[in-house]
Structure 1
């Protein structure tokens, strides 16, 4: 199928200084948890996008000096020749596909706490970071300004030697160049402070020095947050933003523009809950009005129609992407070939970001289970090892894990029957997407639905059986499949069992008319009263999402939270705007409280810290702390129970108990995945299904095969000898 000719503009080459982008698709710098310490991971993940048609791939933020150390998060580093060698693995692999490699040179100031290096970070003025904890910077004197500028120059030389084609002076997300430009940080009274010309001086001088050093060998880029989204007290696009672009334009070959700061960088990497693709255009469109250089815009672009509009309307020359390139590394090639319905559309959940925010485990993706696994497991998102047996596989449950397992097994050539009592693929995701702001999460279901339909057309022996009776153990054993995968999901607890007490709560019973689980709320089959109390010990999206849904519908909502409400949403960058949304809807929170018992129309709550700070041994049968006297009653018309989940594993457990009957029924193995094994993030449930489908031929598919680790081994050379190679298992 040929692409639509109106998308041809996306495949035009673009000149950036001494380098040429082969098209307009550009993977902007983004974190994956590889840094310079895992060169295999770094090289495999970035270069795969070159194979998929991207014109350029960048590192994550790359520290130029130990004074810019972001431990416990994980950045790349180009401090010395060892880093040069490790990062060359990335550039060499990228160049094999005719793509360009970029490095985002980073100095963080107070936003780099230097927990590992224990160095002193420097900044324009002394201030405490609003992003980190107990992290200050030292105000630079003039000699130190020159010293730090030389850090950039030295790093640029190392970047050139590592094979990078594009060298960034990174000034977005409130890092050092923007700290000088922004009066929020810069309180200086010398030639580097005060007027815009003075505040811009550090950035301009640094660009001049880097350009003089490597500008004939590398394209010079700068990443600039053209509006910090705080109004006139900081950087505004039509004031300092456009003026700075005019000032620095002769020194750069590429503008990579975004908005926001570091404390709330979800205003840049906007979650789909709050922001649709292209959400930064109202600000970034001004840059093209003053710049004569190629301009790159970001905004979670996944739709070629929107991409084309951005270019044809003159808002940007290049389509920048981080999350869409993770969800589908082959997005450009699929557009180029007109395979639009094969695109794995980024759902904007920001789970990829969450793993970096937590502190550096490998990045994951809800849509693309191979993200982060390209090197260590040898997984390729578009290539699959052929089936090693003719075993047929029954997958019970078509939710995120079951649908993914079925899809990958079909891709491998297995005969698969995907069975579910629901009328549609998606499992619990079908109700989750009805929550406020979560509609785009449905792209996860839609991709698998589309691909499974295509695969069934190719292999008529595969079957999608929806709207069926609940599967029983007898039915499984008599089905005729050699292997069985149970993906029956999980449910919210009906008795109040929670992570705090690990026990039911007296009086909690979702079969009563005034108590509901999240599923019952979303089904809409139970009436909900005016005064709603949400009791939660869950730490992700369900409680605040239900609160928003119910408050919007006119209910008076109070959340009783025994754990940090929506804590995981800090990591997905949803938290600030989620809290603003609950505030504007008048949702009340009784924080640090949980429930001891429930009676008709009321629950007894207590402060979880109300049992005193002193403890002493008082003999057996007596608590070592004082009795908690903080108990009080809160009235409700309806009580919503968001206390915890449990696996719906009865079918799997019965099949395991009848293992002696497997062989006589021709069953070689029964496995459990996804939430049916343990309640999980959707991303991890999807991974669970993908992994077992890849490893169904292993001796014990229930348990993962070992993956390749990148470690320094005592007594051995820190880097292996010989040629660096990336091998995919196909």
Structure 2
């Protein structure tokens, strides 16, 4: 079934054992001086053990001024080489080709990171940076060209099989190449032959310093998806010049920081969404082409390869969620693969705060060198109340450690509030995680009993040693709003669970993530929806790119959004509001999404009876989120 994906490939004389590639992703796992750490090494080595044919490490800054984040790797001086030589030695033990992506952030950094104004071809600020960049002089351009070559030379001395020049995503090389960001009128600006000069000089300097047997990849945004930026036709005109200068493969990506949803697409983006751009590049080059963009299923990757659109497939965030995806896919164990859901909360969410990256579904990520899953010498009888993500995670790792575990869930379905989060448009893949958790528990022989509510009497009959209370939260019905007790007033949870239907005119009260997504769900189903929120913005608890996708969907589905607005009264056929919007809004159904309160009573009752009770997730604090619940479940299991 995966014959193309698991066929070998030669890239500039180096043999890749398969076509599955880890692309560069910033994780902030190195020291601030750019030197290697055990955390950085163990993180990548796990992916090598997982079977990836090629791993491209995150942005090695070619100079301290080129850093976009504080804890990136660096090869701007020879003192950094030994640590990365030890790193490549470990990766090579697993028959994996290892590539160092090298870059200069240009204007897409800030003085807070590098201590001075960023460099750029023109004095045009990055939309995400507060700083006006310094326009590079000709001498500074030549200095930077040499920095790229020296960085590549150090990568070769450190044992890397090659480097990948980051010429995409709006970083410095891309800034020179695009009329969106380059307004120079010297030999590095204006017409195409001038705008690509910087990239050509860098490639040639690398080849001169590293020789012909070294892989020199090039990452390029095929379409920048921004007004005035490069398009795929521009890219097709450029690639032959890069090939002539000496590159070994093309990494076909998209976007700049202004079009960040193209750089790191979220769950609102379709799978393999820019495979056709890679296919266009393949039409004008004989070099291998790497396709990126929302690949989380090896079977989709196989289809793209089989159709001839690309030669390699990048599994970026999928390699964070499950670094053993290649091994499992090759063995046909698709049920064992933990699938990335494109949520952005751990990876991009942390990146935006300049802290180490994480994955909400994989608590081992970034902790590979610190966490060991040891069998207990004191097995306990463990009762888990609630089959949401936190409860199931606790059950999995408690069972893996050797405890006797049983899970009870009062609802028909496992997943808790996380399953309800999968109902709105674009979020259906969330259910893959719950299915994976249930599959893991089935393999472990753990019984999950659905449609059974835990009572003190049931606890007494089971006599557990430890109880993990992951029984969630209950939506709040605000009594202070007159009319909130009327029959046509329902909660977002009941709407998403399919327990209630709505009329054609709906007012959703509460513009957090839950309220906004419920509004989107109803509008997709042709309801006339008005969303009312007290604050000036909605969905502020969502990460930037999924939030963009949600806001675009709400606009497309014609949801009326009333911010800075307070509900004064709910009447039989309307909702009275005041603030920025002062009117009586017609409503057949009113949906409440104003928060929830923890279900603490059961846990407190059982604890008072003398049981050892560990409370996690929404049962501790509401509203909580799936990341906290999963993490708490995981660490609770480790502590048993």
The bucket for the TM-score relative to the shorter chain is: over 0.9
* Cross-structure match for 2:515: 543
* Cross-structure match for 2:549: 577
CA deviation profile, 1:530-583 (whole Å, cap 9, x unmatched) = 443323253xx3222112122223333222223431224343x12333222222
Q: How far 1:596 sits from its partner (Å)? A: 6.1
State whether structure 2 residue 156 is matched by structure 1 residue 212.
no
User: CA–CA distance in 2 between the matches of 1:166 and 1:351?
Assistant: 31
State whether structure 2 residue 640 is matched by structure 1 residue 647.
no
- 2:506 corresponds, among 532, 536, 544, to 532
Aligned partners of 2:351 and 2:357 also within 8 Å: no
Aligned partners of 1:33 and 1:356 also within 8 Å: no
Aligned partners of 1:537 and 1:644 also within 8 Å: no
SS in 2 for 1:10: coil
CA deviation profile, 1:311-334 (whole Å, cap 9, x unmatched) = 222211111111111111111111
Alignment of 1:179-578 (within 5 A): 179-216=175-212, 218-230=214-226, 233-237=228-232, 239-250=233-244, 251-272=246-267, 274-375=268-369, 377-379=370-372, 384-456=373-445, 462-468=446-452, 470-495=453-478, 505-507=480-482, 509=484, 511-536=485-510, 538=512, 541-563=513-535, 564-571=537-544, 573-578=545-550
Aligned partners of 1:27 and 1:321 also within 8 Å: yes
Aligned partners of 1:192 and 1:201 also within 8 Å: yes
* Cross-structure match for 1:673: 616
Aligned partners of 2:345 and 2:543 also within 8 Å: no
What TM-score do you get using the length of structure 1 for normalisation? 0.82
Aligned partners of 2:224 and 2:259 also within 8 Å: no
Q: How far 1:673 sits from its partner (Å)? A: 1.7
Aligned partners of 1:66 and 1:119 also within 8 Å: no
What TM-score do you get using the length of structure 2 for normalisation? 0.93
User: CA–CA distance in 1 between the matches of 2:427 and 2:175?
Assistant: 35
- 1:53 corresponds, among 48, 51, 57, to 51
User: CA–CA distance in 1 between the matches of 2:160 and 2:178?
Assistant: 29
User: CA–CA distance in 1 between the matches of 2:618 and 2:75?
Assistant: 41
Q: How far 1:585 sits from its partner (Å)? A: 2.2
Q: How far 1:267 sits from its partner (Å)? A: 1.8
Q: 1:578 to 1:210 in 2, by over 3 A?
A: same
Q: 1:86 to 1:395 in 2, by over 3 A?
A: same
CA deviation profile, 1:474-510 (whole Å, cap 9, x unmatched) = 3213312222111111232222xxxxxxxx744373x
**Cα RMSD after superposing both structures:** 2.4
Alignment of 1:139-218 (within 5 A): 139-216=135-212, 218=214
Q: 1:19 to 1:560 in 2, by over 3 A?
A: same
Number of residue pairs aligned between Structure 1 and Structure 2: 632
User: CA–CA distance in 2 between the matches of 1:508 and 1:482?
Assistant: 46
Aligned partners of 1:47 and 1:57 also within 8 Å: no
User: CA–CA distance in 1 between the matches of 2:185 and 2:51?
Assistant: 49
User: CA–CA distance in 2 between the matches of 1:361 and 1:568?
Assistant: 18
User: CA–CA distance in 2 between the matches of 1:466 and 1:531?
Assistant: 35
Q: How far 1:82 sits from its partner (Å)? A: 5.0
User: CA–CA distance in 1 between the matches of 2:386 and 2:549?
Assistant: 34
